[in-house]
Amino acid sequence: MNLKFGLIGKKLSHSFSQRYFTEKFKQLNLNHYSYELWELEDIKNIRSFIDQQGNVRGFNVTIPYKKEIISHLDSITDEVKQIGACNCVLIENNQWIGYNTDWWGFYEMIKDELEPHHTSAMILGTGGAANAVAYAFQQFKMPYVFVSRNKFHSQCITYDDLNKMHFEKYPIIVNTTPLGMYPDIASMPAIPIHYLSNKNFVIDLIYNPEKTLLLQESEKQKAKILNGLKMLYLQAEKSWYIWQKI
């Protein structure tokens, strides 16, 4: 029996996931497994759409459906509840179970990169990826603050609020926004970059380009830098681990 996996989202032409899993299935001699791309304008009828594909055992979820998919699931993990976003679904006995592997990918990516003075973080953005990053910092028992254009809640400050003190108090800076992603490589989050120093650790979840304008400018200020490529591999591996429950 051919077993299918896939990715749902709106624009998937540059998908990492299909290449990654196709290669993995080849290496593991799983010739009856395939990984497909499902570009959807909406997911109102996602259950019937997946049923029509036949023998789907799991799928990943990307922008803009990580929150919306939750209402279509039969059950979700505690991580999904707390993060409010799901990027991995396991289909078992016709039950759809939602997981979040983004937080785990981020956690595993940075755990060996942290230095003793990296004790708190600023998270740029307030979307699903920002919540996954925040959940990872909670596992480190590390304080954090969100940075956005508008003040959404008490744990959020605005870009206009940022001053030197914030970069000293929160030495880790994580960009979870799409600013600087290909093809818009000339943009970056509006942070006062001149306050960065060699005490800061700047992480950009974007991996295309490999070194965003934010990372280039941070490097000039002697900050430690890291892009999100390893996180991408790690969250994909975690998805595979979950799907092997079948």
Segment 59-98, tens digit of pLDDT: 999 988 999 999 999 999 999 999 999 999 999 999 999 9
206 Cβ partners below 8 Å, 6+ apart?
175, 178, 180, 181, 212, 227, 228
Structure tokens at 3: 């077993």
Instruction: In whole angstroms, give the CA distance from residue 36 to residue 22.
Output: 9
Alpha-carbon span 118 to 143, nearest angstrom? 11
Tell me the per-residue pLDDT of 95-127, one tens digit each, with 9 for 90 and over: 999 999 999 999 999 999 999 999 999 999 988
> How far is it, in rounded angstroms, from Cα 8 to Cα 45?
12
Tokens of 18: 């299909």
CA distance 51 to 46: 8
Residues 6+ apart with CB under 8 A from 111: 140
**pLDDT band, very low/low/confident/very high, at 246 (cuts 50, 70, 90):** low
Catalytic residues: 66
Give dist(CA 135, CA 121) in Å, integer.
12
User: Range(s) for CATH 3.40.50.10860 in the chain?
Assistant: 3-100
The CATH superfamily label for domain 104-231 reads NAD(P)-binding Rossmann-like Domain (3.40.50.720)
Q: What does the DSSP 8-state code read for residue 185?
A: T
> Going by C-beta distance under 8 Å and a sequence separation of 6 or more, which residues neighbour residue 128?
66, 67, 83, 84, 85, 87, 102
Domain 3-100: give its CATH superfamily. Leucine Dehydrogenase, chain A, domain 1 (3.40.50.10860)
Question: Which residues of the chain does CATH 3.40.50.720 include?
Answer: 104-231
pLDDT, tens digit (0-9, with 9 covering 90-100), for 214-236: 999 999 999 999 999 999 999 99
Q: How many CB atoms lie within 10 A of CB 152?
A: 11
